[in-house]
Amino acid sequence: MADASLVTLTIEGRQVAVPAGTSILEAAKTAGVLIPHYCYHPGLPVAGVCRMCLVEVEKAPKLAPACATAVAEGQVVHVHSEKSLEARKGVLEFLLINHPLDCPICDQAGECELQDYTYREGRAHGRLKEPKRFNPAEDFGGDVLYVTNRCILCTRCVRFMDDVAHDPVLNVSERGDRAVIGKFEGRDLTHPWAGNVIDLCPVGALVSKDFLNKARAWELDRTPSICPNCSQGCNAILETRDNMVVRMRPRPNGDVNQYFLCDHGRLNYRWMNRTDRVEAPLVRQGDRLAAADWDRALHAAGMLLNGKRVHALVSPMLSNESLYLLSELVEQTGGRGTFRVERGAEAPLPGVPDLALRAERAANVRGAEMLGFEKSDTPLAGLQPDEVLLVAGDDLHDLDADTLASASAIIVLGPTLPEVARTAAVVLPTTNMAEEEGTFTNLRGRVQRYMQAKAPPGMARPVWWAAGDLLTLLGGRGGYFLASEAFGALAGARPEFAGMTYDTLGLRGQMLSGDAESAGVAR
Amino acid sequence: MGFPHPSHPSETPLLSEHFGNPAARSLTTWRSLGGYQALERALGMEPSAIVAIVKESGLRGRGGAGFPTGMKWSFMKPGDGKPHYLCCNADESEPGTFKDREIMRWTPHALIEGCAIGAYAIGAETCYIYIRGEFTEPLRAMDAAVREAYAAGILGANAMGTGKRVDVHVHKGAGAYICGEETALMNSLEGRRGNPRIKPPFPAVAGLFGKPTTINNVETLAAVPHILNRGAEWYKSMSLSSPKSAGTKLFSVCGNVAKPGNYEVVLGFPFKDFLYDVCGGPLPGRTFKAVIPGGSSVPIQTMAEAEATRMDYEGFVEQGSMLGSGGVIVFDDDQCMVKLIARLARFYAHESCAQCTQCREGTAWVTRILERIEAGGGTMDDLDTLLNLSENMTGKTICVLSDSCAAPVVSGIQKFRDEFEAHITGKRCPMGARAAA
Amino acid sequence: MTVDEKGSAAAAERAPHGANGGHPHQEDYEPVFTGEVRRELDELLTRYPTRMAALLPALWMVQHERGWVSEAAMAEVAEVLRLTPAYVKGVVTFYTMYHQHPVGQHFIQVCTTSPCGACGAEEVVKAFLEHTGCGELGLTSPDGRYTVIEVECLGACGFATPVMVNDEFIESVTPARVPELLAELR
């Protein structure tokens, strides 16, 4: 942007230059100053109603709402002056007079902006002598419970449903201190993206029924991740407690999902906590599968593969790293690879361009296709008796044992051992995406990292590790110990990934080369 | 004139001349009284020339803020290719104010003429008159008059045969004080909750339906035909004080006064004469105690302040209050100030739109404290709390409803603290026995 | 429509739906916007550049026809104006003049804001409660004839105490006048 359109101002003694039209609140962020606020949210239209972000602007007659005041050249803004602090203290007191102060039983406690700001800037004692207002809680449908008494009427939820979801099912009802967030009888928060109102709510008024009373915010470990539940690749945070994923929430990324995550995605995490796992490598001994160490199991698998063509049935939920090394394995044996994808109805979020719950309900369809795997509804069609079937991540549902039996041998790499694969010769226990580090390529060609959120069970290893070791046994190049090394190998081998490293990907991802320009046009 | 009382010789009835005369409602009579001559002349002029005359006349908004009308009109840029709108604010809801009601009730064509001239002057083809829903009689009068004006070709696609389009529509409110705030009025007209909007953008840039809009009060627009008929100089010359306060102003007088009603005087008139002479002074055997001179949202005056006041925009400010909407509420020595202020606070708590935190929570909380003090349950620190809450409610919200609630509380405690303290120390209303009887 | 018809319309609506009304597509819900009323609305829509702007007028038409604005009617208005029922409800609950429940045949509103309060409005309220048999503010008398409420400033402070009975405005009401006013309503 040309310098001419930049406005220079001073916020808390720090000079910043921001594009004309920027709000004081956003300008302050660039100076590292957080101006406390409730109703403002960068993903929603400005309401300017909570009046928490009032700041002192020199030469202005009144305090200015930082969210709704554009920067002006030479402005001098005080966020923590006595007048601003007094104003915020006043707002906090007003917000709390009818608040139940039920932090000990509130899911929001620990991540509540009312709690945080009150602790930092609020009055030590309330002055209310009258009884508090009371309203019953209400089930808003979907995953959303409205705890009316905690509501501060910031209207973020209403604005999200109106302006982003384009489904105005919420309203502000009544006036004055009788006002509440309302809905129409029989019209619930069933929009596929409605769950975002829970994240948007800065207090404990809109809470998740799924997460209700499950954990305290401070007990959670938070890991940057990618929602694996469709090909959109929404950036997410996996929250774990005691090695269990208990919640998935959106992580902002303006290039993918803004601030949002759909209900299908956010609520579809229980499989990450499955306990019926294969915890040790298994090798067939007669009519049974016996536990073995990795070396023995890999060796057994290598023997089976030697001189045979591989038919790899992979999962589009596997990482680029895993799929790459599997594709190398396929190539090494002159075999082929297929995969299948679960499908569902596409559900766009109308207020955000190119954001939808995608019909293909898997994170790495694009990666699988690009790495040479063929998408098919009958992925085992044409399985030959001289082929070794290598199942990687596919749970084999709806496939029958007879079809599988036509292969010369079955090797399973998976977190669980499907019933129909009980005849497998070797079973290698692998991690699910929450238990490993890796990357997915979304439908637009964006390569994005996810981090390990929980420990894998027993001896489970990422697929790329096992596949790389198998590749080495067959004389190929594998044997990686870090996901970043596996990714480096991929980047070195495939021109679409050229130049990418985990560092360059960062937490926002990078477009495949060749997709970058077309994506720029599309957006 | 002092409707419902006979006109007082000190009055200058301009807008109120025909109050009480049902015949003035009809188009025929109105035309015989000179009606629509100003509109005819105006439609033959350049809009900018009309704006210049109104600017020159010194007419200021009569709804409460007192903004110069001609200047407001000049913010509407001609030829910007966008539709322009005029809104007539007939949502008269400020407690103590009932002047616009009488203008519409008795002289609806005066308002239609003012609206048509105003619309033409700002480049608008459409004017909406937003009338509060409770004004059933003014609504009927305005509806009938608008129909007459259309039938007579005064309004419509070919207004007065000039080929120019002027539409005037009556829009009925549904019970919300805040819709008298101009941006809330626009939201309400658009079919929304009557929430005030953040400014900027100002209405002249993005107003009704997002288009350039001017909002004028009924009394303001009704004065415009007179100015066009008799000239800016004539209007400007009507002042008993400074050129900043020109013309006549309708004052609604209510409360404990001998002759409540609407009185029209030239700005700058002595308030003392107004209260004791024009309005007939206190009721028999009583004395005045306090006045809220500009509708309930302005600070309360003591009688000493009121009696020293010159009735113009600056004069009320000099004596601790504001001219506001011109709604004069008089209280006598028989009234409990705590009770009256508590009841006013309840009004604001009821009317808060619920957007801004300070207003939504503050108006209700202040009301509960005041009602507790009135009932004898107050403590001295409640007064400090009230003053501090009032400060937190002033100058911090989108509109001034919150400030309006704080103003009588602060001025009441400052000027009538002894009454508050008597409630607290005596643990009951000193006047309670009588009030309860 | 006379006051009497309005009252009985309200009673008729109350019977099948209960206080919440029904869904507009429910078989027993009779739409408001048909025939003449629909034509009236269509004419009204020509005055505004948006359909939404006709919301307050449309709600007034509902109240005129039915005596109150049921949830079913809100849903119908939403459909006609291409809004959502939740949106319409948010607007209805903002404005105090729309009845969200059936009210008595004579809906009596007494202004008690400070200017009228200083002139004895509370006594007028008491007189109405006593003589109508309503007993309490907001309740409808057992015979279904009256509902009495306090209302905020009616904008007729010089005519204390102003009272509205349905659409009729009565000025300068005193407690002594109340029985006579009620007799006129019968």
* Side-by-side strand order, sheet with C106-111: C146-151, C106-111, C163-165, C168-170
Rounded to the nearest angstrom, the gap between the alpha carbon of residue C33 and the centroid of all alpha carbons in its chain is 18
C174 near B CB under 8 A: no
**Closest residue, chain A, to C20 (C-alpha):** A185
Averaged pLDDT for residues C111-124:
95
Residue A175, token pair as written in the block: 């006036």
pLDDT at B242: 87
Residues of C with CB under 8 A from a CB of A: 20, 23, 71, 74-75, 83-87, 89-90, 93-94
B206 near A CB under 8 A: no
Averaged pLDDT for residues B209-226:
98
Task: Give the C-alpha separation, A156 to A164, whole Å.
Answer: 11
CB pairs under 8 A between B and C: 140
Q: With the CA atoms of C175, C179, C180 and C184 taken in that order, what torsion angle do they form, in degrees rounded to the nearest 10? A: 130
- Which is nearest to B309 in space by CA: B334, B331, B290? B290
C59 near B CB under 8 A: yes
| 3-state SS class at A62 | coil
Confidence of residue B243 (pLDDT cuts 50, 70, 90): confident
- Taking only the tens place, the pLDDT of each residue in A64-100 is 999 999 999 999 999 999 999 999 999 999 999 999 9
Mark yes or no for CB contact C113/B92 under 8 Å: no
Residue C12 clears pLDDT 90, i.e. is over it: no
- Which is nearest to C7 in space by CA: C62, C68, C57, C59? C68
| 3-state SS class at B74 | helix
Task: Give the C-alpha separation, B73 to C1, whole Å.
Answer: 42
pLDDT at C27: 63
Residue B210, token pair as written in the block: 């997002």
Between β-strands A14-19 and A6-11, what pairing exists: parallel, antiparallel or unpaired? antiparallel
- Which is nearest to B36 in space by CA: B105, B141, B116? B116
The continuous run of DSSP H or E covering C39 comes out as helix C35-45
Residues of B in contact with A65 (CB under 8 A): 198
Mark yes or no for CB contact B365/A68 under 8 Å: no
Residue B115 clears pLDDT 50, i.e. is over it: yes
% of chain B exceeding 70 in pLDDT: 99
Rama region for C135: left / alpha / beta (φ>0; ψ in -120 to 50; rest): left
CB pairs under 8 A between A and B: 90
Averaged pLDDT for residues B17-32:
96
Q: Alpha carbon of A366 to those of A235, A319, A394, A439, B222: distances in Å?
A: 17, 11, 16, 12, 70
Confidence of residue C18 (pLDDT cuts 50, 70, 90): very low
Rama region for A12: left / alpha / beta (φ>0; ψ in -120 to 50; rest): left
CB atoms within 10 A of CB A2: 6
Residue A440, token pair as written in the block: 């997915």
B417 near A CB under 8 A: no
Residue B324 clears pLDDT 90, i.e. is over it: yes
Mark yes or no for CB contact C56/B296 under 8 Å: no
Residue C47, token pair as written in the block: 């005055």
- Which is nearest to B140 in space by CA: B101, B95, B187, B84? B101
Mark yes or no for CB contact C158/B261 under 8 Å: yes
pLDDT at A4: 63
- Taking only the tens place, the pLDDT of each residue in A201-259 is 999 999 999 999 999 999 999 999 999 999 999 999 999 999 999 999 999 999 999 99
* Side-by-side strand order, sheet with A510-511: A438-441, A446-450, A510-511
Mark yes or no for CB contact A174/C87 under 8 Å: no
| Shortest Cα distance, chain A CAs vs residue C20, angstroms | 9
Task: Give the C-alpha separation, A177 to A128, whole Å.
Answer: 15
Mark yes or no for CB contact A184/C93 under 8 Å: no
Put simply, the chain B residues between 339 and 358 with a CB less than 8 A from any chain A CB are 349-358
pLDDT at B64: 86
Averaged pLDDT for residues B185-209:
97
| Shortest Cα distance, chain B CAs vs residue A9, angstroms | 20
Task: Give the C-alpha separation, B178 to C98, whole Å.
Answer: 16
What mean pLDDT, rounded, does chain B reach? 96
Q: Which chains touch A (3 or more CB pairs under 8 A)?
A: B, C
Task: Give the C-alpha separation, C139 to C125, whole Å.
Answer: 13
What mean pLDDT, rounded, does chain C reach? 88
DSSP per-residue string spanning B116-145: HHHHHHTTEEEEEEEE-TT-HHHHHHHHHH
Mark yes or no for CB contact C93/A185 under 8 Å: no
| 3-state SS class at B81 | coil
The continuous run of DSSP H or E covering A368 comes out as helix A365-370
Q: Alpha carbon of B375 to those of B16, B306, B331, B436, C158: distances in Å?
A: 42, 29, 20, 11, 28
- Side chain identity, residue A206: L
Partner residue facing A173 (CB), from C84, C85, C89:
C89
Partner residue facing A169 (CB), from C75, C86, C93:
C86
| Shortest Cα distance, chain B CAs vs residue C156, angstroms | 5
Q: Where are the extended beta strands (E) located within A194-344?
A: 206-208, 221-226, 235-241, 244-250, 282-285, 288-291, 309-314, 336-339
Q: Which chains touch C (3 or more CB pairs under 8 A)?
A: A, B
Residues A6, A165 contacting (CB under 8 angstroms): no
Averaged pLDDT for residues B348-364:
98
- B227-233, Cβ contacts within 8 angstroms, sequence gap of 24 or more: B227/B53, B227/B54, B227/B57, B227/B59, B228/B38, B228/B41, B228/B42, B228/B50, B228/B53, B228/B117, B229/B34, B229/B37, B229/B38, B229/B41, B231/B53, B232/B53, B232/B54, B232/B56, B232/B57, B232/B58, B233/B56
CB atoms within 10 A of CB A284: 18
C156 near B CB under 8 A: yes
Using alpha carbons only, give the angle A279, A282, A283 rounded to the nearest 5 degrees. 170
Residue C16 clears pLDDT 50, i.e. is over it: no
* Side-by-side strand order, sheet with B261-266: B261-266, B248-255, B327-332, B288-292, B301-302
Residues A462, A322 contacting (CB under 8 angstroms): yes
- Side chain identity, residue A171: N
Residues C131, C146 contacting (CB under 8 angstroms): no
* Residues contacting B270, CB < 8 A, separation 6+: B309, B310, B311
B399 CB-contact burial (10 Å; exposed 0-12 / middle 13-18 / buried 19+): buried
* Residues contacting B413, CB < 8 A, separation 6+: B383, B386, B387, B420
Residues A505, A448 contacting (CB under 8 angstroms): yes
Task: Give the C-alpha separation, B111 to B105, whole Å.
Answer: 10
| Shortest Cα distance, chain A CAs vs residue B253, angstroms | 29
Partner residue facing C90 (CB), from A167, A172, A186:
A172
Mark yes or no for CB contact B191/C156 under 8 Å: no
Residues B63, B222 contacting (CB under 8 angstroms): no
**Closest residue, chain B, to A47 (C-alpha):** B198
Give this complex's ipTM.
0.95
The CB-side HSE value for B80 (13 A sphere, CA atoms) comes to 17
CB atoms within 10 A of CB A472: 15
A170 near C CB under 8 A: yes
DSSP per-residue string spanning A408-458: SEEEEEESS--GGGTT-SEEEEB--GGGS-EEEE-TTSEEEEE---SPPST
Using alpha carbons only, give the angle C142, C146, C150 rounded to the nearest 5 degrees. 120
Mark yes or no for CB contact B351/A176 under 8 Å: yes
B76 near A CB under 8 A: no
- Side chain identity, residue A407: A
Range in A415-419, B201-205, B428-432, C158-162 the model is least confident about = B428-432
- Taking only the tens place, the pLDDT of each residue in C53-110 is 999 999 999 999 999 999 999 999 999 999 999 999 999 999 999 999 999 999 999 9
Task: Give the C-alpha separation, B17 to B200, whole Å.
Answer: 39
Task: Give the C-alpha separation, C28 to B271, whole Å.
Answer: 63
Residue B356 clears pLDDT 70, i.e. is over it: yes
Confidence of residue C5 (pLDDT cuts 50, 70, 90): very low
Residue A224, token pair as written in the block: 């940057």
Confidence of residue C11 (pLDDT cuts 50, 70, 90): very low
Residues B381, B424 contacting (CB under 8 angstroms): no
Strand partners, A411: A390, A426
Task: Give the C-alpha separation, A50 to A71, whole Å.
Answer: 20
Task: Give the C-alpha separation, B403 to A49, whole Å.
Answer: 15
Confidence of residue B406 (pLDDT cuts 50, 70, 90): very high
Each residue's pLDDT, cut to its tens digit, for chain A (523 residues) gives 445 699 999 999 999 999 999 999 999 999 999 999 999 999 999 999 999 999 999 999 999 999 999 999 999 999 999 999 999 999 999 999 999 999 999 999 999 999 999 999 999 998 999 999 999 999 999 999 999 999 999 999 999 999 999 999 999 999 999 999 999 999 999 999 999 999 999 999 999 999 999 999 999 999 999 999 999 999 999 999 999 999 999 999 999 999 999 999 999 999 999 999 999 999 999 999 999 999 999 999 999 999 999 999 999 999 999 999 999 999 999 999 999 999 999 999 999 999 999 999 999 999 999 999 999 999 999 899 999 999 999 999 999 888 999 999 999 999 999 999 999 999 999 999 999 999 999 999 999 999 999 999 999 999 999 999 999 999 999 899 999 999 999 999 999 999 999 999 999 999 998 776 555 444 3
Residues of B in contact with A71 (CB under 8 A): none
Q: How many residues does chain A have?
A: 523
pLDDT at B431: 85
